[in-house]
Amino acid sequence: MRTPAMSARLGAEALGTFWLVFGGCGSAIYAALFLSPPTEGQRVQLGIGFVGVALAFGLTVMTMAYAVGHVSGAHFNPAVTIGAAVARRFEWRDVPAYVVTQVVAGLLAGAALYGIASGKDGFDATGHMAANGYGEHSPGGYGLVAVLCAEVLLTAFFLYIILGATDARAPVGFAPIAIGLGLTVIHLVSIPISNTSVNPARSTAVAFFNGNGAPGQLWLFWVAPILGAALAGATYHLVTGIDRRTEDISGEVRPEDLPPEAAR
């Protein structure tokens, strides 16, 4: 079996995580609410709203899964990496490097978002960087327990989708579409609840630039997604009867996947 070098896998994870944070959070920061210039004393909402932000997150994952999924497995998310390891579809020894890379890449994307947003006169980052939150920092005012339950449940289903879509018996080449659309649905459900995390790297990426209580609530957006992913990883083979725990989704290239001339 041939596996891409760790440097290549980490580079792919960095690219994908940066794009997820920049594209997803960027759509919320810059484009979710955008008003037209005043016309006869009225302004029209031209922004993309919740639906547009949900699509942006789903499309970032889908596009990068196609672009680099064959290199790194397209995790872009510490919860996915840990859930895959619990499911025995990823090597535990590689988890720390993946998680650190994802967090650093996310923070770089957060810095880029902040830098661009600061180019607008009057921009105030406090409370306006698409951070996750509960209680008074939840878009819909949902409390800690509600947000915890939503994040655990939705992350678990995200992992179920990933583990199922990457099964060898699933339609070939369609896994990124299923995963991207799954993440879109997750955002459609939970943007009003928590601004949607299901990804500790995404939450960390903007929390410190956002301020306004986000850093103090960040713990929940590590604990809940990891717990949900671990539950899914531990139960997928029991729920579905599909046991692929000897295989991984780390980007490993098998001899049977190579063209004949390369396999020799």
pLDDT digits (tens, 9 = 90+) for 202-259: 999 999 999 999 999 999 999 999 999 999 999 998 988 877 766 656 544 444 444 4
Q: What is the pLDDT of residue 261?
A: 46
Taking alpha carbons only, the member of 187, 186, 185, 163 closest to residue 175 is: 163
As given in the structure block, the two tokens for residue 72 are 């790194």
For residue 238, what are the contacts with CB-CB under 8 A and spacing of at least 6?
none
Q: What is the mean pLDDT of residues 158-169?
A: 92
Taking alpha carbons only, the member of 68, 64, 46, 66 closest to residue 56 is: 64
Residue 250 CA to its chain's centroid (Å): 16
Domains observed in the chain: 6-263 (1.20.1080.10)
As given in the structure block, the two tokens for residue 60 are 């970032």
Q: What is the mean pLDDT of residues 98-105?
A: 98
Amino acid at 54: A
Express as a percent the part of the chain with pLDDT over 70. 91
Q: What is the pLDDT of residue 34?
A: 85
Segment 40-74, tens digit of pLDDT? 678 888 899 999 999 999 999 999 999 999 999 99
As given in the structure block, the two tokens for residue 161 are 């989708």
Bigger pLDDT: 76 or 39? 76
